[in-house]
């Protein structure tokens, strides 16, 4: 699933430099993301489980792709291209048959295992509660059903990380205080390219 990620969808948090007293709003940014995902139905109607790995192939070593902090701000080296993992459950709100095969909509609740972002974190990666609203548009549904492109779709994910990000008063890194909590909402849009045939 090649995609573009837009962070701080509704504007970034305000941070303050404790050495100068200057305040600034962290900017939004766009970055290419590559996602590999797998899902499976459960015995409960409309409920499935899923897992995915996210990777930023173009992430520079000068900046952490998740927290957006530069190496100089963190006081050391930033390892680029570190993947993240998401595991959770998905509830189908709208299925493809209900839209004549053109689209679907689902709500996900997941555990996001990604780079640490709070000053109290004692490991490089931490678990975070993640909520997602996911939609797929079957833009090639008009093609013959037996063709591969028929299963390719466009997707959009409205992502909200509910825990594990800096809160108001946190210093991340030391010397820079968050005057407002981190803005955890992001938007991911891209192309979903199937690898295997769906189980009927």
Domain ranges of the chain: 2-192
Lowest mean pLDDT of 74-78, 98-102, 112-116, 171-175, name the range: 74-78
Architecture (CATH level 2) of domain 2-192: Beta Barrel (2.40)
Q: Report CA dihedral (38, 80, 67, 77) to the nearest 10 degrees.
A: 150
For the beta sheet containing 23-25, the strands, ordered from the edge strand earlier in sequence to the opposite edge, are: 23-25, 14-17, 176-178
Q: Using CA of residue 102, residue 108, residue 113, residue 116, what is the dihedral sign?
A: positive
- Dihedral of CA atoms 199, 97, 54, 124 in degrees, nearest 10, equals -100
Give percent above pLDDT 70 in the chain.
87
Q: pLDDT grade, residue 27 (50/70/90)?
A: confident
Q: Scanning the structure block, which residue is given the tokens 């520079």?
A: 60
> What's the predicted TM-score (pTM) here?
0.82
pLDDT at 192: 94
Under the banding of pLDDT at 50, 70 and 90, the label for residue 75 is low
Mean pLDDT of the chain: 88
CA distance 78 to 59: 10
Alpha helices, H only, 37-128: 71-74
């Amino acid at each position: 699933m090649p995609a573009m990620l837009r962070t701080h969808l509704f504007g970034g948090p305000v941070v303050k430099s404790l050495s100068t007293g200057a305040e600034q709003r962290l900017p939004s940014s766009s970055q290419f993301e590559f996602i590999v995902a797998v899902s499976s139905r459960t015995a409960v109607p409309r409920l499935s489980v899923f897992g995915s790995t996210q990777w930023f192939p173009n992430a520079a070593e000068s900046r952490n792709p998740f927290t957006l902090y530069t190496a100089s701000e963190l006081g050391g080296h930033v390892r680029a291209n570190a993947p993240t993992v998401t595991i959770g459950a998905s509830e189908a709100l709208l299925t493809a048959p209900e839209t004549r095969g053109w689209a679907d909509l689902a709500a996900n609740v997941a555990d996001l295992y990604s780079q640490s972002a709070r000053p109290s974190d004692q490991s490089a990666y931490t678990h975070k509660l993640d909520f997602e609203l996911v939609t797929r548009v079957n833009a090639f549904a008009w093609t013959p059903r037996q063709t591969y492109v028929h299963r390719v779709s466009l997707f959009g994910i409205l992502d909200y990380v509910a825990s594990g990000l800096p809160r108001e008063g946190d210093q991340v890194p030391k010397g820079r205080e968050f005057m407002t909590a981190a803005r955890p909402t992001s938007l991911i849009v891209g192309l979903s390219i199937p690898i295997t045939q769906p189980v009927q």
